Structure 1
Amino acid sequence: MFSGDSYEIHVHFCCSLVGFYPATLAFEFKPDLQASTTFHIVRFFEAQCLTSLGRELAPIAPYKPRSLPAWTPDTNCLIVDGERPEGYQPSVNTLLNTIYNKCNSCLIVMCSTFSILRTVLESPLSWENYFEKFQLLLFLEELQMEVDIRRYNIPNKDRDHAIMIRDPVNKKLLIMEVPGVSENRPSVLRGDKLLVYPAGEKQVKYCGYVHSVQLDSVKLGFDSKLLDSFVDYMKFHVEFTINRVTLRLQHRAAELANQYRLEKVLFPTAPTFVSGQTVLPKHTFFRLFDWKLERNPEQYQAVQHIVAGTSKPAPYLVFGPPGTGKTVTLVEAIKQIEKTQASYHILACAPSNSAADLLCRKILEHVDEHKVFRLYASSRDPKAVPDRLKACSNLVGECYIFPPKEKLMEYKILVTTLLTAGRLVTGGIPAGHFTHVFVDEAGHAVETECLGCLMFSGQVVLAGDPKQLGPILRSPFALKYGMGVSLLERMMNGFSLYQKDEGVFNNRYVTKLLRNYRSHPAILKIPNELFYDGELQVCADEILRNSYCRWEHLPQKAYSRGDFPVIFHGVTGVDAREASSPSFFNIAEIEVLIDYVRKLLQAQGKKGLATISPKDIGIIAPYRKQVQKIRKALEKVGKEFKFKDMNKLKVGSVEEFQGQERRVIIVSTVRSSPNYLEIDKQFSLGFVKNEKRFNVAVTRAKALLIVVGNPRVLNADPTWARYVSGGYKCKSRIIPDNIYQFILTFILIVFSSHFNFNSTAESAVQQLLDPEWRNDL
């Protein structure tokens, strides 16, 4: 080619599979025809194959990160308090102030010397630094919560202002639309407060208390100063606030741990004169309420040891891998104590209201209703209380009535959330009242959430799985320095009495449940080998677990074998973002999984397959934006089907699926670029380089598991590499507010100076996952 010449090259791309296809084109040149040397010019280009659905899901605008103004506690603005809902119990500030005066002085001394603060954070947790370390970690988590909650403030990228109207039923209440409140983004509970002020004014803010939460709106009670001048459709700016009651209760519990001398519970040691397995007394051999447990020696053994109290004063642990029936085991133990022991009082707890409700319903199957009491916090929406539990709860009409301590102490079994259990100490119930304390889903809770119920010094039983996801935290500092490790996990990993000796657990202190009643053997195989020493045994219903072994869309080899209902569908997509949202999505993966949904719903009863409805299918994705895009895609294709319950096809994050199961699970891994893997690893996000998230995702399925992802990226993680190459073949290629604000300001200054804390930056957890704001009181 001569100078100035051009040569046009046409590239044709033909593909039947959606995805992103990069290619390299190299041109070889010689300086002249006689030259023996050559040189090359290389150009990179790419093609993307999308359907019409994929084009509709494309980014609405180029990604442009937004930054929030720096957060500092607001202490100069006049705030006019509002009207609290009827029957609402205000926070127990007056009872907590004495304790917190001590907490405040301790923390201020720590913060006054940076070296002390660093030493507390970096030192391993011990009984000597227990209170100081957890108090500091709780404040760090609150700092990040204060930053993250501002995402929902109005004005924002979606709304310039909020409007309110009077409630037509109760003229003293105003109704405000709050999109996302039904998904706890943000969490707004009865009794919470929002700050509003007329657009353009900020000298006075009005505090509105939430009286009720509707689907996407809230009813707020304000002072007459605002109500007297209010007219419908006035424009307001809105500031959301975090619910500090949960944090205050945890601060208080950490302080009281020393007062109640919980060292032997929190840092247990085995007696030096006891070794080997324990011989149980004769009275612990009994007939079970649930006859199925009689054929499960591990569950039976756990119930026996709990009833006999063999671990006291150390907690007894029920290590329950996926689908092994840990909740059923706890409930059976509670029923046996009720039947066999004359003098007993049981406190049964869980981190969330839904888990506590499940416990209570199962207990009531065989226990007299008059012996059981379900205690709710006043923030619980009365409409969310199951009908079966209303008669034995503190819900009276639409209000919660809190019985005096004498009445509460009459009940034999008290069921509540962990944080509400902590308030029983404040209520004056003596330390030795409860003979047994049960905590279900203990692996989901921050350790300080569990402390409140441990004050009662009875036999403590913790049930959960340390190999699955722990509590959700926002602060990278709180995560780094150990707050993300649950009490259950710390016990299992840190104390010899809960660890194997010559390959066997000491059943005096811990029982590992081994029989899985959920999944097909092929689904269970890899997680069993990676996380559970290959000990799990498949006990799921044979007809149900084999119901997709002959599905025509399985890989040919798996279909021929008839015993491998697992698909890994390899696809190369793009890690996309849009507008101001930092969360990722992958259009190519969405198209693939939507195609699988079509095939599943079209296969109704064909070729020997059982019928399936949308509620039997679950779709798991690690990032919030991917979840939203998948839901949007399902809305569009849902019209193809005649199912009335398409909205029951659940799409959510791993956290939202923990503890749940579906006949069919489809997992979208999203990541197609290795550039973001270190961010995922640093903040425990995504599936890659996160064993616990991987474990939860792949163990939700009963009969069919479909994983959609980029094999080249997933192979960078040893856990996923084992999955991709291990036989899973590809289908295709309480402080007073003013003191509280002072302490937060103090810690903010210290951390901004020495720890590079950015008060303008939302946490990575908030940006990419946007998890629900959990406030289960």
Structure 2
Amino acid sequence: MSADSRAQKAPFDVYARPFIPNSLKAVNEVPYTAVPSLPVRWIDFPAYVSSFAGTSLLLADPPPPDLSGDSSKVQSKPSHSDTTSLDTGEPEGLQASGYHAYFQAAMIDEAAALQHECEDYALYKVPLEKAYRDPRPNMYQLKVPGLRELSLRIEIGDIVQLRQLIFDARGAIMHVPYIMRHDAVVWSIDRLREMLTLNVQGLLPRSMMFNVSFSVQAGRLGALYRSVMGIQKALQGGENSWTRTMLFPDEADGTLQRTLNKFQVDMELHDSLLNYEQIRAVDTVLQNDFGRVPFLISGPPGTGKTKTLVELALQIISKQQGAHLLLCAPSDPAADTLVQRLSKHLQPSQMLRLTAPSRSFPEVPDSVLSFCYVDSDMFSLPPLQQMMRYNIVVTTCRDAELMLRARLSNADLYDLERGMMSMLHPKELTPHPGLHWTGLLMDEAAQATEPEALIPLSVIAPPPGYEATEQLPPVFIMAGDNHQLGPRTASRTVAMQTSLFERFLERPLYRLHLLARSKQSGGVMRPLTQSMLPIIRPAFANLIRNYRSHPAILATPSSLFYNDTLEPEATNTTSLLPWQGWKGRKWPVLFACNTGSDEMEQDGGGWYNNAEAKMACQYAISFLQAGLAKAQEICIMSPFRAQVRVLRQFARHPAYNIPAVNIGPLEAFQGLESMLVILCTTRTRDRFIEQDVARGLGVMHEPRRFNVALTRAKEGLIVIGNPAVLGKDKHWATFLAFCHRNGLREDEVGKACNWPASNAPVSKLEKQLLYRNTSDTTGDQAAADGVRTLGLGRNEDEDIWHSGMAAEAVVQDEDEVDDGDTASS
């Protein structure tokens, strides 16, 4: 029965949980005795600390109680039975004095939402198989749908609750007054096969069918609780203004700039391909004259945020003696990327990829593994002497807590060194030692929740009173894009969904600055001029040059999200243009109409669209048969997991046979790119869009998800959907108008699509594309005339354009002719 026909009978929640027979649910209500299983090995933090700190040091500020329980030589991962008590209270808004209260309520909501999410993934009457190829005793394998897409949040060491089903002679479930609940422990994860390997103790083979329950692990949120509480203490202490300026930077914390920037940058680059804006960002941080505030690198898709951070890290450690940097990212893949980029310049003795024991070895790329520290069969912390020698430590925001629990923060190391000197020389004035960690560089910062970002920030935070010394405090650099997908959260709480990076960009210090991206007009990033001085020196850098996509793919996102400032610099983006399916102006963008019904999996399992799946596979095959792309260079994405499953089924079917094509949920492709992207919007009716929006699903009224979807493609973008439905979203209406007026559309066979009316403006890049199609001026002639081309030709409504370096050179020359001096206050 279709969703529409069922909806006509009675209103219902299309995302309701699947129906479970009462006989199965009753098993989970029976009284039980919990049977623990063998935990995985874990880092013994007390033993690690005692190996270098002894018993009389690091006592001034001990960490909060450890939520992981056992602190013996081999520790278990925190279990669900561990709890964290928090005072409840209504947040009155985010401010320094009520910082803990604000996030306290948000994290309580997040914990409840995570538990609700775990219940959604509960399995009933599923088989548990003996892991016969695993030599370890009591090992079993469990198939868990959703592991491949990281839908279910689970790690090595987590607890999975198993309730064994008992059947009578007729095969019916027996109701017993008392059962054993096996608290199995995850020992390994195979995401490709969606398989967990569990250690299950005391299992009697009366039946190998089970009810499976997942739960929130206390350690998952415990790190966030502790980071927020520690920051609140620093904010209230009054002795550490560094923490306040890093979290609530104001214009008074910046530096007043009275002179124009020097045109020449005296720097030997490790990466010779850096552009003007990237070099300026690196140089500004090295000069360290923007005030004691966070420095933000705003980088739209494909503009080289990570490239800039890598160069900055290498410059800092080469120019600053004794520099030790902490580099973080919200996810393991993003942290691995940092290591892979840096590994071209650093040896394993110089850089550590700090990885938690909860990560599976097969998930770590071979190129990264040599930079990890492995203790027997688990990832761990190197000894203190070795740890202190690394110039750079790369980890995830959450795994930075390993350093806090190991007492490797700046504050702890400072207390340790000062306490040791005081103990050895009691009659002498104890000097202030330098801080070990000199900076924190955070990549993909817009994807981290604020409490997550606080964990590495707590690692580098100086101890109370340190600012009374003449030594420089650590720098805090963030790179991200607040218009891409934000933090992945279970709740829809604003406090959790707003990243620290995004919150900073809304503060006057950044948002109201004359050089902010939002203050630019005409799509041109204006340089600093003499008339603007004096001005607060910008504590940010705007990257504008896109090295990923064809200009037609960038036109709509640049206009909607980046104030029309993106500059297409990618080369070799025309290899798909010979495809015969491009319409209208033959730009590599196509909107294909589909009004085939979207259907719902039984009992609210998710939305799918068979007609759309067929179209997507046919488009992929068309490119393959034309020899324009390889299967690995094509990706098909959908915002609905059910449609992803259907797409994979179609791809494996003999009629299509394209299993090598990358197919996955939209979120899985953030940060990635593909030669050809086929986007399946799936939703062709507007009846249940409100429910989609309420749960943050789909691509309707989800601007960040929309932006990610359109900016993954390098050389070709095909969108399949119903324009009559999508056009009700203002962002989609702009894209549809772009496709409609340029003929980049394909209607269904035998009928015309209902395209919505739109008065969306023509973007700067679209005008340039149009001019290239009509102008008789060649690119070489335009360049000779001093015209901005970028492979596009002259913009009709724009004066002579200068690149960043040329523009500043002109301003500098004018200033020297005018006065020979700089402005004064």
Q: Which of the five TM-score ranges fits, normalised by the shorter chain?
A: 0.7 to 0.9
Check 1:106–1:233 CA distance in 2 against 1; reply closer, same or farther (3 A cut).
closer
- 746, 749, 755: which is aligned to 1:731? 746
1:389-427 per-residue CA deviation (whole Å, 9 max, x = no partner) reads: 333311245322322444322211111111111331221
Partner of 2:555: 525
**Letter of the 1:173 counterpart:** N
Return the match for 2:120 from 142, 147, 151.
151
Work out which of the residue numbers 205, 208, 216 in structure 1 matches 2:181.
205
> What's the offset of the Cα at 1:381?
0.7
Residue 632 of structure 1 deviates from its aligned partner by 1.0
| Counterparts of 1:63 and 1:312, CA distance in 2 | 49
- For 1:220, the equivalent position in structure 2 comes to 198
Question: Which of 143, 147, 160 pairs up with 1:178?
Answer: 143
Mapped contact 1:405–1:428 kept (Cα < 8 A): no
For 1:346 and 1:232, the matched residues in 2 are separated by: 55
The one-letter code matched in structure 1 to 2:195 is S
| Amino acid in structure 1 at the alignment position of 2:336 | D
Residue 305 of structure 1 pairs with residue 284 of structure 2: yes
1:84 to 2:39 alignment: yes
- How much has 1:374 moved relative to structure 2? 1.1
The question of 1:620 aligning with 2:637 is answered: yes
Q: Structure 1's 65 and 663: CA in aligned 2 closer, same or farther, altered over 3 A?
A: same
| Counterpart code for 2:544 | L
Q: CA deviation at 1:511?
A: 0.5
Task: Report the Cα distance in structure 2 between the residues aligned to 1:124 and 1:63, rounded to whole angstroms.
Answer: 32
Question: What is the Cα deviation at residue 494 of structure 1?
Answer: 2.9
The residue aligned with 2:564 is 534
- Kept in 2, the 8 Å contact 1:422–1:451? The answer is no
Aligned residue number for residue 758 of structure 1? none
Aligned: 1:248 with 2:222: yes
Picking from 577, 588, 596, the partner of 2:611 is: 588
1:553 has 2:581 as partner: yes
Given the alignment, which residue of 154, 159, 181 partners 1:193? Answer: 159
Contact 1:164 1:232 in 2 (8 A): no
Q: Per-residue CA shift, 1:668-713, capped at 9, x if unaligned?
A: 1122222222223333321121211111111111111111111111
Shift of 1:185: 4.2
Using the alignment, how far apart are the partners of 2:184 and 2:549 within structure 1? 48
Counterparts of 2:697 and 2:138 in 1: how far apart (Å)?
A: 41
CA separation of 1:298 and 1:75: change in aligned 2, threshold 3 A? farther
Please say which of residues 582-591 and 705-714 is displaced more in the overlay: 582-591
Q: Does 1:448 align with 2:451?
A: yes
Please give the secondary structure, in 2, of the residue aligned with 1:580.
Answer: coil
Report the equivalent of 1:768.
none
Residues 146, 87 of structure 1: alpha-carbon distance in 2 compared, 3 angstrom cutoff = closer
What's 2:674 paired with? 662
Which residue matches 2:94?
125
State which of 243, 247, 250 in structure 2 corresponds to 1:266. Answer: 247
User: Alpha carbon RMSD of aligned pairs, Å?
Assistant: 3.3
Aligned to 2:65: 97
Amino acid at match of 1:79: A
The 10-residue stretch of structure 1 (703-712 or 674-683) with the greater mean CA deviation from structure 2: 674-683
Which residue number in structure 1 is paired with residue 600 of structure 2? 577
- Structure 2 residue identity aligned to 1:601: L
Q: Deviations over 1:202-224 (max 9, x none)?
A: 5432222222223343332244x
Distance 2:629 2:332 in 1: 30
CA spacing shift, 1:452–1:64, aligned 2, 3 Å: closer
- Per-residue Cα deviation, 1:474-497 (whole angstroms, up to 9, x for no partner): 224x2xx43211111111123333
Change over 3 Å in CA distance of 1:497–1:598 after alignment to 2 = closer
Q: How far does residue 546 in structure 1 lie from its aligned partner after superposition?
A: 1.5
Moved more, 297-306 or 267-276: 267-276
Preserved contact between residue 281 and residue 308 of structure 1 (Cα < 8 Å): no
Q: How many angstroms does 1:571 deviate by?
A: 2.0
Answering whether residue 433 of structure 2 is matched by residue 439 of structure 1, we say no
Show the 5 A alignment for 1:603-642: 603-604=626-627, 611-637=628-654, 640=656
| Counterpart mapping for 1:280-291 below 5 A | 285-291=266-272
**1:468-479 maps to which residues of 2 (within 5 A)?**
468-476=484-492, 478=493
Distance apart, 1:273 and its partner CA: 7.7
Compute the displacement of 1:141 (Å). 1.2
Contact map agreement 2:30 2:179 (CA 8 A) in 1: no
Q: Distance in 2 between matches of 1:571 and 1:182?
A: 28
Deviations 1:654-673 (A, max 9, x none): 21111111111111112222
Aligned-residue offset at 1:177: 2.3
Q: Equivalent residue of 1:96, what SS?
A: coil
Identity %: 28
Unaligned residue ranges in structure 1 (runs of 5+): 1-19, 23-43, 45-61, 111-116, 605-610, 734-777
Normalised by the length of structure 2, the TM-score is 0.71
Please give the alpha-carbon distance, in whole angstroms, between the structure 2 residues aligned to 1:673 and 1:614: 31
1:540 aligned counterpart, secondary structure: coil
SS at match of 2:688: helix
Structure 2: which amino acid aligns with 1:558? R
Letter in 1 for 2:677: I
1:246 shift after superposition: 2.3
Match among 706, 712, 728 for residue 724 of structure 2 = 712
Query: Is the CA contact (8 Å cut-off) linking 1:346 and 1:436 kept in structure 2?
Result: yes
* Residue in 1 that maps onto 2:685: 673
Match of 1:190, as an amino acid? Answer: I
Which residue pairs with 2:212 in the alignment?
A: 238
> How big is each residue's C-alpha offset from its partner over 1:311-369, in whole Å with a ceiling of 9 and x where there is no partner?
45311111010000100000000011111111211001111111111101111211233
Cα deviation for residue 579 of structure 1 reads: 1.3
CA distance in 2, matches of 1:307, 1:89: 38
Query: Quick one: higher RCO (CA 8 Å, sep 6+), 1 or 2?
Result: 1
- Answer whether contact 2:727 2:736 (CA < 8 A) is retained: yes
2:58 equivalent in structure 1: none
In structure 2, relative to structure 1, the CA distance for the partners of 1:104 and 1:345 (3 Å cut) is same
Structure 2 equivalent of residue 495 of structure 1: 508
In the other structure, the counterpart of 1:466 is 482
* Deviation (angstroms), 1:631: 1.2
**Structure 1: distance between partners of 2:718 and 2:485:** 21
CA displacement at 1:601 relative to structure 2: 1.1
Aligned residues of 1:594 and 1:633 also touching (Cα < 8 A):
yes
TM-superposition CA deviations, 1:525-576 (whole Å, max 9, x none): 11111111111111001xx211223321111x223xxxx1111112212221
Q: Which amino acid in structure 1 is aligned with residue 574 of structure 2?
A: N
Number of matched pairs = 631
The correspondence of residues 683-694 of structure 1 with structure 2, limited to 5 A, is: 683-694=695-706
Deviates more, 1:76-85 or 1:523-532: 76-85
SS at match of 1:468: coil
**Could you tell me which residue of structure 2 aligns to residue 510 of structure 1?**
540
Give the structure 2 partner of residue 601 of structure 1: 624
- In structure 2, give the amino acid aligned to 1:131: H
Q: Identify unmatched segments of 5+ residues in structure 2.
A: 6-13, 48-61, 69-81, 167-175, 236-242, 412-434, 462-473, 526-535, 753-825
By how many angstroms is 1:99 displaced?
A: 10
CA distance in 2 between counterparts of 1:442 and 1:279 reads 30
- Which residue in 2 is equivalent to 1:32? none
* Alignment partners' CA distance in 1, 2:259 and 2:602: 62
Contact 1:284/1:308 (CA < 8 Å) preserved in 2? no
Letter matched to residue 746 of structure 2: K
Equivalent pair of 1:442/1:462 in contact (CA under 8 Å) = yes
Q: TM-score, normalised by structure 1?
A: 0.75
Judge conservation of contact 2:638–2:644 (CA < 8 Å) in 1.
Answer: yes
How far apart are 1:442 and its partner, in Å? 0.8
Question: Which residue number corresponds to residue 103 of structure 2?
Answer: 134
Structure 1, 189-198 or 705-714: larger mean CA deviation: 189-198
- Identify if the C-alpha distance between structure 1 residues 582 and 654 changes in structure 2 by more than 3 Å, giving closer, same or farther: same
Task: Give the AA of the match of 1:83.
Answer: L
* CA apart distance, 1:498: 4.6
**Whole-angstrom distance in 2 between the partners of 1:279 and 1:140:** 49
